[in-house]
C-alpha cells in the first residue's frame, strides 16, 4: 500500500515538473488589445490603435488586422493602421498579435460610422411677374456615397414633383398663374435615413396692379429779356 502511495506521489511530482517545463518553454501568451469602440462620421479616415497590446515575458513581433470583418487577418499590419469609410457602416475589426515564440492572441472592437444628411441650398428668393416661369438652380452637399432622391413643392397647391439630380445639383422650374408670395420647399433624401430640407420665397407680381409711369411734361425756356419786360410791366401796374 505504501509503495502504491509513493508511486502516486512521485507520478504527481513528475506531472507538475513537466507542466513547469512546458510553461517555461512556451512562456506567457501575448495579450491583444484592439482598443475601441471606434466612432466617426462617414467619409472619414479611422485610425486603429493596438498599442495597448503586451507580452509580459517577451515581445510582440507582429500585429495583423482584419478590417472587413471576414475573419481573415490580411488587411493591414502594424501597431497603428488606418481605413477610409466612404459611407455609414457598423461592424467589427479584429486584431491578432504574435510573440517571438509563435503564441497568438485575438481581440475585436466595434466600428460605427454615422450617416450625415444632405445639406440643401434651394437658391435665393426671387420676384417674377404673374404668368412668367420661375427658374433657378439649386444644389446640396453630402460626404457619403449615397443614392439621392429629391422633390420640390412650389407652394401654390400643386403636388410635389420629383427633381432630376445631376451630380449634386438640380433645377427648379414652375409657372405661377396668380400673384402672391409662395414658399418653395426642396427635400433631398440620401437613402440611409438622412433628409435635408431648404426653402425659398417667390414673390409673384400682378402686372395689372403696377403703378403707371408719370409722363414727362415738356419744358420751356423763357428769354431773359422777356423776364425783364414782364417785371417792368408788373411794376408799372403796381405804381
- Do domains 28-114 and 119-209 share one topology? The answer is yes
% pLDDT > 70, the chain: 75
Q: What is the mean pLDDT of the chain?
A: 86
pLDDT at 180 over 50: yes
Domain 119-209 has CATH 1.10.3720.10: no
pLDDT for 197-235, tens place per residue? 999 999 999 876 554 555 665 655 656 665 665 555 556
pLDDT at 41 over 80: yes
Question: Is there a contact between 18 and 93 (Cβ–Cβ < 8 Å)?
Answer: no
Residue 210: what pLDDT? 54
* Phi, psi angle pair for 51, to nearest 5°: -70, -15
* Phi, psi angle pair for 64, to nearest 5°: -120, 135
CA distances 148 to 76, 84, 187, 192, Å, are: 33, 21, 10, 9
Residue 14: what pLDDT? 41
Q: d(Cα 130, Cα 176) in Å, to the nearest integer?
A: 6
Q: Which fold has domain 28-114?
A: Immunoglobulin-like (2.60.40)
Go through the chain and tell me how many residues it has. Answer: 239
Average pLDDT over residues 66-95: 97
Residue 211: what pLDDT? 44
pLDDT for 109-142, tens place per residue? 999 999 999 999 999 999 999 999 999 999 999 9
For the chain, the domains span 28-114, 119-209
Residue 19: what pLDDT? 40
Alpha-carbon Rg for the chain in angstroms: 42
What is the band of 28 on the pLDDT scale with cuts at 50, 70, 90? Answer: confident
Amino acid at each position: 500500500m505504501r509503495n502504491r502511495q509513493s508511486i502516486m506521489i512521485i507520478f504527481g511530482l513528475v506531472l507538475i515538473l513537466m507542466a513547469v517545463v512546458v510553461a517555461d518553454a512556451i512562456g506567457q501568451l501575448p495579450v491583444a488589445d484592439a482598443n475601441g469602440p471606434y466612432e466617426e462620421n462617414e467619409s472619414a479616415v479611422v485610425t486603429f490603435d493596438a498599442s495597448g497590446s503586451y507580452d509580459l515575458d517577451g515581445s510582440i513581433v507582429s500585429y495583423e488586422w482584419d478590417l472587413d470583418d471576414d475573419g481573415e487577418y490580411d488587411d493591414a499590419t502594424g501597431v497603428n493602421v488606418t481605413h477610409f469609410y466612404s459611407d455609414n457602416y457598423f461592424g467589427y475589426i479584429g486584431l491578432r498579435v504574435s510573440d517571438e515564440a509563435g503564441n497568438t492572441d485575438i481581440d475585436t472592437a466595434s466600428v460605427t460610422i454615422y450617416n450625415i444628411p444632405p445639406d440643401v441650398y434651394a437658391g435665393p428668393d426671387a420676384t417674377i411677374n404673374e404668368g412668367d416661369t420661375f427658374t433657378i438652380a439649386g444644389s446640396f452637399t453630402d460626404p457619403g456615397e449615397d443614392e439621392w432622391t429629391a422633390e420640390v413643392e412650389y407652394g401654390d397647391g400643386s403636388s410635389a414633383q420629383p427633381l432630376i439630380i445631376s451630380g449634386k445639383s438640380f433645377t427648379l422650374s414652375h409657372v405661377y398663374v396668380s400673384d402672391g408670395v409662395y414658399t418653395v420647399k426642396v427635400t433631398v433624401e440620401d437613402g440611409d435615413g438622412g433628409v435635408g430640407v431648404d426653402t425659398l420665397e417667390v414673390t409673384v407680381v400682378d402686372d395689372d396692379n403696377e403703378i403707371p409711369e408719370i409722363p414727362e411734361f415738356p419744358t420751356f425756356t423763357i428769354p431773359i429779356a422777356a423776364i425783364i419786360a414782364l417785371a417792368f410791366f408788373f411794376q408799372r401796374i403796381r405804381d
